[in-house]
Structure 1
Amino acid sequence: MLKMPGLTETERAGCSNILKLMSAADLMSLSDTVTNKMIVVENVTEAMETILSFTRSAEELLKRKKVYRELIFRYLAKEGVAMPPNSEKHQLAKRTLELWSSGKVLVEEEKLPGGPGETRLSQTSETGSSDFDPSVLGQQFCQWFFQLLNSHNPSLGQPPQDWGPQHFWPDVKLRLLTRTGSEQMEEFLGAELVSLRLVALTRDEQLLLSPNLEPRGLKTLASPHGLVLVAVAGTIHRNQACLGIFENVFGLIRSPLENHSWKIKSVNLKIRGQEALGGAETSAPALTYNSSELQLLCS
């Protein structure tokens, strides 16, 4: 297939991820548009390749009518780029082009052939560097996870993103400790139950979890056996009120299906309400776990 000049590797990867969010009918229609119906495609894979090959610039593709505002919004959210829900299409397109020109794409989600969606978190740049750095993975994972989870809070007015059990290992375990007046411990085992309980926090209880991604609020540890622990502290809100703080420790393990694919193996979530904090500062909470405590949590 002819590949016309114009798209950098980063732009091509980004455009591809936006096209993956489109319906099959819209992809076929867009393929007809960019080729003036000169090329007949048989399926969505051919349609995507044709669109990318005949697109002269990333800006041209983002301006296409079939590339709806909501698609660009969802793409940026998956990249960990927060935009106001009422942003206009041209503003979203401008921010997307800025992201691509920086040469770094933080988060992308790929569908593996014949299987559910895998979370793919990788450092990418125009040189194709993918050296593993646990601290970078921790930043990327938290941006992706909380953006995804918060999108299901109806008060934000955002389109809900692709949440589900596909982001967890089948035997994932969730420990949820809540201190709001009284103390309550809940435990859930299995991808379906863990997924449903976590999304209920934002979708049903309308909580908004805001992680503190500064060094005092985020810690990442990598074990020699492939487990990466990501611990993050943050604040919990409902509407305009700050209800308290949380500390969340995730255990992540690479999927053997693909080198840069990670899934959640364990979640330890501790929530403390304002009354349990005794007037302590909540604006940018710090982690209370030390490294040895983190290793014990997810052992």
Structure 2
Amino acid sequence: MSGLSETERAGCTKILKFMSKDDLLSLSDTVTSKMIVVENVTEAMETIISFTKNAEELLRRKKVHRDLIFKYLTKEGVAMLPSTEKHQLVKRTLELWSSGKAVDDNSHLDETSETTDSTSTKAEVGFDPLVLGQQFCQWFFQLLNSQNPSLGQQPQDWGPQHFWPDVKLCLLSRTSSEQTEEFLGAELVSLRLLALTKEERLLLSPNLEPPGLRGLASPHGLVLVAVAGTIHRDAACLGIFEQTFGLIRSPLENNSWKIKFVNLKIRGQEALGGAEMAAPALTYNLVELQLLCGR
């Protein structure tokens, strides 16, 4: 009876799991006009899904509160402002489902972005990974920071085209509590990093000199760049970050470097205990970096 696609069914189920038992049973009564009596939460969810004609109808139900949809989108790596209204969240969720979250591997192969040229240093014999690291970081953080509306700059060409389709992002933030997030795929990784500057209005200022920056090259063509820096919002320094990138050249795009994985650790002021923040140094040791490089 359900008119939902597989993606919509999976997404609706995730949202329903956030609901209280009372709300689920009540919603089941509503969608079935009390024609079906359910015994438990699992039956309620299955019944709701079965009797739903389309995804939008379910998302617009009163019992499907705005906060539930916001929580779902956040877990899926879709950055939305906390003040976003329910109808906008519904629209974004439907867009996410209709795209199937699929990254079109071919969508960026024909594009030649002006900004990728600045990272097209070729890894010839004897090239210096540290120099590449400096060039890459100058390019990356300038590009990412340009998305911050408080700077008043023209945003540069940010997007999934700078990442490999199977890129992975691990984000660890230590502020008053510790939180770990993981995202997979160029679209989601690109959106989550964009949210740091565009929505959260953070400014990342890297330390481009050792011991704040290191570069390592693996025999398999991967270059690891590790950088530390400070995080700011407007005039306030909020803490420090450490970020490692795995870079691999794309032979289909003039051998420009594209990002294979990103690990980002953020430590807020309260987690630092008054440590020096002027020019942060990397806390990764060489063995840890070599392990990352050997992926």
TM-score range, shorter chain: 0.5 to 0.7
The residue number in structure 2 matching 1:232 is: 227
When the two structures are superposed, what TM-score results if normalisation uses the length of structure 1? Answer: 0.58
Alignment identity in percent?
79
Question: How many Å separate the matches in 2 of 1:270 and 1:297?
Answer: 14
The residue number in structure 2 matching 1:243 is: 238
Question: How many Å separate the matches in 2 of 1:194 and 1:113?
Answer: 18
Change (3 A) 1:214 1:168: same
4+ residue runs over 4 A deviation:
none
Question: How many Å separate the matches in 1 of 2:253 and 2:110?
Answer: 14
Question: How many Å separate the matches in 1 of 2:172 and 2:110?
Answer: 37
Q: How much has 1:259 moved relative to structure 2? A: 5.1
Secondary structure of the corresponding residue to residue 282 of structure 2:
coil
One-letter amino acid of the structure 2 residue matched with residue 184 of structure 1: Q
Select the residue among 89, 105, 111 that pairs with 1:115: 111
Consecutive unaligned residues in structure 1, runs of 5 or more: 1-111
Q: How much has 1:258 moved relative to structure 2? A: 4.5
Select the residue among 156, 181, 190 that pairs with 2:185: 190
Q: How much has 1:136 moved relative to structure 2? A: 1.1
Question: How many Å separate the matches in 2 of 1:165 and 1:249?
Answer: 18
**Aligned 1:198-213 pairs, distance under 5 A:** 198-213=193-208
The residue number in structure 2 matching 1:148 is: 143
- Counting matched residue pairs gives 184
One-letter amino acid of the structure 2 residue matched with residue 114 of structure 1: D
Question: How many Å separate the matches in 2 of 1:233 and 1:273?
Answer: 14
1:173 has 2:168 as partner: yes
One-letter amino acid of the structure 1 residue matched with residue 110 of structure 2: G
Change (3 A) 1:258 1:160: closer
Deviation per residue, 1:144-182 (Å, 9 max, x gap): 000000001011000000000000000000000000010
Question: What is the Cα-based RMSD across aligned positions, in Å?
Answer: 2.1
Query: Which structure ranks higher in relative contact order (CA pairs < 8 Å, sequence separation ≥ 6)?
Result: 2
Change (3 A) 1:113 1:191: closer
- Check the 8 A contact 1:211/1:233 in 2, yes or no: yes
Consecutive unaligned residues in structure 2, runs of 5 or more: 1-107
Q: How much has 1:294 moved relative to structure 2? A: 1.5
Select the residue among 278, 282, 285 that pairs with 1:290: 285
Question: How many Å separate the matches in 2 of 1:184 and 1:209?
Answer: 19
The residue number in structure 2 matching 1:279 is: 274
The residue number in structure 2 matching 1:256 is: 251
- Check the 8 A contact 2:120/2:257 in 1, yes or no: no
Q: How much has 1:122 moved relative to structure 2? A: 4.3
Of Structure 1 and Structure 2, the greater strand share is in 1
Q: How much has 1:260 moved relative to structure 2? A: 3.6
Change (3 A) 1:149 1:130: farther
When the two structures are superposed, what TM-score results if normalisation uses the length of structure 2? Answer: 0.59
One-letter amino acid of the structure 2 residue matched with residue 137 of structure 1: L
Change (3 A) 1:189 1:217: same
Secondary structure of the corresponding residue to residue 171 of structure 2:
strand
Q: How much has 1:209 moved relative to structure 2? A: 0.1
Question: How many Å separate the matches in 1 of 2:288 and 2:279?
Answer: 21
Secondary structure of the corresponding residue to residue 221 of structure 1:
strand
Q: How much has 1:235 moved relative to structure 2? A: 0.1
The residue number in structure 2 matching 1:139 is: 134
Deviation per residue, 1:67-116 (Å, 9 max, x gap): xxxxxxxxxxxxxxxxxxxxxxxxxxxxxxxxxxxxxxxxxxxxx98335
Secondary structure of the corresponding residue to residue 260 of structure 2:
strand
Secondary structure of the corresponding residue to residue 251 of structure 1:
strand
